[in-house]
Amino acid sequence: MAVRTIRIYGDPVLRQKATKVDAVTPALHKLFDDMVDTMRANEGIGLSANQVGEPYHLMTLDMALFDEQLPPLALFNVEITEPEGKLLGEEGCLSVPDIREDVERSDNIKVNFMTIAGEQETLSCSGLLSRVIQHELDHLHGIVFVDKIAPFKRNLLSSKLKKLAKGELVG
């Protein structure tokens, strides 16, 4: 297992759509392990494969935030069904450091996905878990959370975003 470099806003890989996974291979098991290490080393609660430069439709979630007994979860080929309700809440992103803004998301969702064991599952969730899944799924579709904030706020952040895209710290 290894900590990988997180791609930062402006990196073109963050705008690419992820490729669906037909089968979970040993290489994808290794990627999942690396993503968990990377997520935890950077104090994240979720991470998508394209954030570490991989094109696969995979996200990891740190389920210990919801129950200390739960291991990290791998979700392949995520599809959201039955979104309900709207909730505005603050988000941040490991690929957009030092920027936090309110984003509107569905409060309740059902998620279809393939597990690390290659099995199809459905998960119903709400609140923070729902928000994290939607945030990571956006990444897998080439969308970064700042794309979803109000235009005037995005305008206010434009100089910070340009600095990030150039590889400069925004602090």
Q: Would you give per-residue pLDDT tens digits along the chain (171 residues)?
A: 799 999 999 999 999 999 999 999 999 999 999 999 999 999 999 999 999 999 999 999 998 877 788 899 999 999 999 899 999 999 999 999 999 999 999 999 999 999 999 999 999 999 999 999 999 999 999 999 999 998 999 889 999 999 888 887 665
- In this prediction, residue 169 carries a pLDDT of 67
**Nearest 5°: phi and psi at 4?**
-100, 165
Q: Is 45 left (phi over 0), alpha (psi -120 to 50) or beta?
A: alpha
CA-based angle 88:89:91, to the nearest 5?
A: 135
Q: Is residue 66 part of a domain?
A: yes
Residue 31 belongs to domain with CATH number: 3.90.45.10
- In this prediction, residue 36 carries a pLDDT of 96
pTM for the full model? 0.94
Q: Is residue 7 part of a domain?
A: no
Q: Show Cβ contacts of residue 11 under 8 Å, excluding neighbours closer than 6 positions.
A: 95
Q: Is residue 81 part of a domain?
A: yes
In the structure encoding, which two tokens stand for residue 136, read together?
């990571």
Q: Is residue 5 part of a domain?
A: no
- In this prediction, residue 167 carries a pLDDT of 83
Domain count, the chain: 1
In which domain, by residue range, is 95 found? 12-165
SS (H, E, C) 47-100: EEHHHHCCCECEEEECHHHCCCCCCCEEEEEEEEEEEEEEEEEEEEECCEEEEE
Q: Is residue 6 part of a domain?
A: no
In the structure encoding, which two tokens stand for residue 158, read together?
């434009």
Query: Annotated catalytic sites, by residue?
Result: 136
Q: Is residue 18 part of a domain?
A: yes
Q: Is residue 75 part of a domain?
A: yes
- In this prediction, residue 170 carries a pLDDT of 61
Q: Is residue 44 part of a domain?
A: yes
